[in-house]
Structure 1
Amino acid sequence: MPENTSPTNLYRHSLRLLLNKDIPAWVGLWTEGGIMEFPFAPQGWPRRLEGREAIAAYMSDYPDHIDLHDFPDLKIHQTTDPSTIVAEMRGVGRLVETANPFDMTYIAVVTVREGRFTSYRDYWNPLAVQETGTDFTKGSTR
């Protein structure tokens, strides 16, 4: 993506990459020192990932656990900082291990500098995943 890519366009592009299960390309949208945070992560799960390498390790087997089909209800809100957006959405698909439906609501606060993610705070409900009975304790996926 070009350096002048807006946060909204970069975010939409990142969702397409996740749907295509192209995790290496998704990780490539990050700055080297990017920070991904999960403020509601349960005990034993990572709350903060520092650097592209840590983010890549965390996301590497995401498609092995969650088969995403769509991100309906996407709403992207501009903030007073033109480099930061707030995104509301649902992620729907299925859990690979059990074939049970996956339907999670997310709110993300995302900052972009020079066409790359620098900060991504992912607010999701860990209780919803725990209720599925799927074991994500290895900490590399949600």
Structure 2
Amino acid sequence: MTPRELVDHALQLLIAHDMTAFAGLWAETGVLELPFAPPGYPQKVEGRAAVHEYLRAYPDIVDVRAVTEQVVHQSTQPDTVIVEFEVAGTVVATGRPYDMRYIAVIVVRDGEIQVYRDYWNPLAVAEAMGGVDALVAAFTGAENG
């Protein structure tokens, strides 16, 4: 898969709530980076198995129903794309709308994600989820102290 094809496929899997297949897009040693993560939240998830573990309960936390906007920019590096996208859904625990914009820098080699750098807005996500503690607890199983 080309990087652009992989992005399209990944977003389809996200809407389908198929987190096993979504995590399966990562290379065995691929990395998910979350540079804007709040304290207590992981900033890096390393390896396909760890990405799967991190994402497996995502549909129980956030019910993403649509990608409402998507723009893919090809970088000067053929294996790297920058993706701007917006999703619409609901936070399962609160019933609040989950309408979020993301920017991701994705490096794809041999049809697999090597690096997925996710520039998301943790303040907006925390607000939708009911606070930073709820956000951290949902994805780590721990309270933010």
Q: 1:66 aligned to 2:62?
A: yes
The residue matched to 1:11 in structure 2 has which SS? helix
Q: 1 CA distance for matches of 2:139 and 2:55?
A: 6
How many residue pairs get matched? 137
Note if contact 1:46-1:139 (Cα within 8 Å) is conserved in structure 2: no
The residue matched to 1:111 in structure 2 has which SS? strand
The residue matched to 2:21 in structure 1 has which SS? helix
C-alpha RMSD over aligned residues: 1.2
The residue matched to 1:136 in structure 2 has which SS? helix
Q: 1:79 aligns with which of 75, 82, 86?
A: 75
Deviations 1:90-125 (A, max 9, x none): 111001111110011100000000011110000010
The residue matched to 1:34 in structure 2 has which SS? strand
- CA spacing shift, 1:101–1:139, aligned 2, 3 Å: closer
Deviations 1:62-109 (A, max 9, x none): 000100011112000001101000000111100111111001110000
Note if contact 1:19-1:70 (Cα within 8 Å) is conserved in structure 2: yes
Q: What's the TM-score, normalizing by structure 1?
A: 0.92
Note if contact 1:76-1:86 (Cα within 8 Å) is conserved in structure 2: yes
Structure showing greater relative contact order (alpha-carbon pairs closer than 8 Å, 6 or more residues apart): 1
Structure 2 gap ranges (5+): 141-145
Partner residue of 2:135?
A: 136
